[in-house]
Amino acid sequence: MNVLMLAPGYPAEMPYFTRGLQRVGASVIGLADQSESALPAVALSSLSAYLQVDSYSNEDAIVDQVKQSARHMRIDRVESQWEPLMLLAARIREALGLPGMTVAETVPFRDKERMKQVLDQAGIRTPHHYSATTASGVIEAAGKIGYPIIVKPIAGAGSADTHRVGSREELDRILPQLRHVTEVSVEEFIEADEFTYDTVCGRGRILYQNVCMYRPRPLIARQQEWISPQTVALRDLSDPGLQAGIRMGHEVIRAMNYRDGFTHMEWHRKADGEVVFGEIGARPPGARTVDLMNFVSDIDLFTGWAEAVCHGTLSQDLSRKYNCASIFKRAVGQGRIQRIEGMGRLMAEFGPHIVNVDLLPVGAPRRNWLQTLTSDGMVVVRHPDLETTLHIADRVGTDLQMYAG
Ligand SMILES: Nc1ncnc2c1ncn2[C@@H]1O[C@H](COP(=O)(O)OP(=O)(O)O)[C@@H](O)[C@H]1O
Ligand SMILES: [Mg+2]
């Protein structure tokens, strides 16, 4: 099978998906806007052909270029796991008459208003919602929904430009900050705990599933720099508290007519047990969560995804052995990392349960914590018992400190 893989070298996880395709027997044709020699080694060594394009923004030119190449090179599938290229992938599929997601099927994964319309039609509980393109439109929507509300971009990511608004006065203060956003979703604010539901699908069947708990919920983690946010992949998916969310996940995948590859859904669980849909992407979760899922079961979902996409199966042992938490650290102070304290003691106390430490080294400039969830580094811990996992994760939160200056 010949697979055209868009952006095989970027973002950081893509080379491993590319290698996965090669490992399950596919010939991989890479397509990207960088020169072949600039690709990361893992991607480069997994490719059997390469198409360099001028710019991702000129989709017409790329579709033409691929059509030309397809005259002398068979292409069976087109894959993209990077959100900005999903529509391009769909356009190429349509131009070549290939199976996989069409443009019409892709749009609801990219546009949060279309997404909720599709799910409303399927009877799935979404937050009460409207889209708006003007300030008066937002005010009108808020009036219909009632405060508190959430205002967020229609195609946002990482909680950017996302606001909880408690009153009309607060809305008046926030509206000027949204001028650069062309279309927003205005939603009922759901007071709840927040989880993910992640899958790998093959031929419309759910072959793998995962649930992560966010601690705290992403919007709060983004408002307070001192917080070390955690994503916790849960070992026991038979927990009664997760069943309604998992059921909703199945219904959402069916309603979106999703067939092959990763999905990443977020859902809310209110104190009374009601579950409410959050959002869904036709891609793996970010912030290195694929690693987290791999650590839960000691598997390789980069290759597992490739097997699902190419052959419709996932033949690894998916039994869940651990809860696994990533803890993201933000340094105190600005500038460059000066010192890191506490890691030695944590290693002495919890060493066997700490499976990855990836912190910026001393001397490195801090990353912008508002733009990247991984912030100044991350630690990954795992343990068969959930309470113990959360305890270790909290200790990493409190006892590990990075200082910048
Ligand atoms: N209707 C809502 N009620 C409560 N919180 C919300 C709501 N919509 C979004 N949020 C908060 O904002 C965060 C980001 O919103 P989300 O729709 O997931 O966009 P993205 O992750 O693409 O930026 C969510 O994880 C959640 O914490
Ligand atoms: Mg989200």
**pLDDT tens column, 308-365:** 999 999 999 999 999 999 999 999 999 999 999 999 999 999 999 999 999 999 999 9
**DSSP structural state of residue 332:** B
Distances (CA, A) of 288 to 37, 58, 100, 300, 302: 25, 29, 25, 13, 12
pLDDT by residue (tens digit) across 56-81? 999 999 999 999 999 999 999 999 99
- Do the strands 27-32 and 2-6 form a parallel or antiparallel pair, or are they unpaired? parallel
Q: Which two tokens stand for residue 385?
A: 């018992």
Q: Find the mean pLDDT for residues 182-195.
A: 97
Contact (Cβ atoms closer than 8 angstroms) between residue 274 and residue 125: yes
- Ion ligand 2, residues whose Cβ is below 5 A away: 266
H or E element in which residue 311 lies: helix 301-311
Angle at the Cα of 398 (from 395 to 404), degrees rounded to 5?
135
Least trusted range by pLDDT, from 32-36, 158-162, 209-213, 348-352: 158-162
- Do the strands 275-281 and 212-215 form a parallel or antiparallel pair, or are they unpaired? unpaired
pLDDT by residue (tens digit) across 310-323? 999 999 999 999 99
Q: Find the mean pLDDT for residues 93-119.
A: 96
Q: 291 in ligand 1 pocket by Cβ < 6 Å?
A: no
Contact (Cβ atoms closer than 8 angstroms) between residue 334 and residue 296: no
Average pLDDT value over all residues in the chain: 97
Distances (CA, A) of 365 to 10, 193, 373, 389, 404: 22, 33, 16, 30, 8
Percent above pLDDT 70 for the chain: 100
pLDDT by residue (tens digit) across 257-296? 999 999 999 999 999 999 999 999 999 999 999 999 999 9
Q: 156 in ligand 1 pocket by Cβ < 6 Å?
A: yes
Q: 260 in ligand 1 pocket by Cβ < 6 Å?
A: no
The residue type of 239 is D
Q: Is the pTM of this model over 0.85?
A: yes
Distance, in Å, from the CA atom of 302 to the CA atom of 15, rounded to the nearest integer, reads 9
Cis bond leading into 216, ω under 30°? yes
The residue type of 198 is D
The pair phi, psi for residue 15, each rounded to 5°, is -60, -30
Q: Which ligand is nearest to the CA of 158?
A: 1
Distance, in Å, from the CA atom of 335 to the CA atom of 331, rounded to the nearest integer, reads 10
Q: Find the mean pLDDT for residues 234-245.
A: 98
Ramachandran region, residue 217 (left: φ > 0; alpha: ψ -120 to 50; beta: rest): beta
Contact (Cβ atoms closer than 8 angstroms) between residue 293 and residue 207: no
User: pLDDT band at 157, cuts 50/70/90?
Assistant: confident
Which residue has tokens 């966010």?
214
Q: How far is the CA of 279 from the centre of ligand 1 (A)?
A: 8
pLDDT by residue (tens digit) across 209-225? 999 999 999 999 999 99
> Probe ligand 1: pick from 279, 370, 371, max atoms within 8 Å of CB?
279
pLDDT confidence of residue 156: 85
Contact (Cβ atoms closer than 8 angstroms) between residue 145 and residue 130: yes
pLDDT at 101 over 90: yes
Q: Output the residue whose Cα is nearest ligand 1's atom 8.
A: 150
Q: Output the residue whose Cα is nearest ligand 1's atom 20.
A: 157
Q: 162 in ligand 1 pocket by Cβ < 6 Å?
A: yes
Q: How far is the CA of 245 from the centre of ligand 1 (A)?
A: 16
pLDDT at 189 over 90: yes
Contact (Cβ atoms closer than 8 angstroms) between residue 24 and residue 303: yes
Residues facing residue 386 across a β-bridge: none
Distance, in Å, from the CA atom of 301 to the CA atom of 17, rounded to the nearest integer, reads 8
pLDDT confidence of residue 158: 87
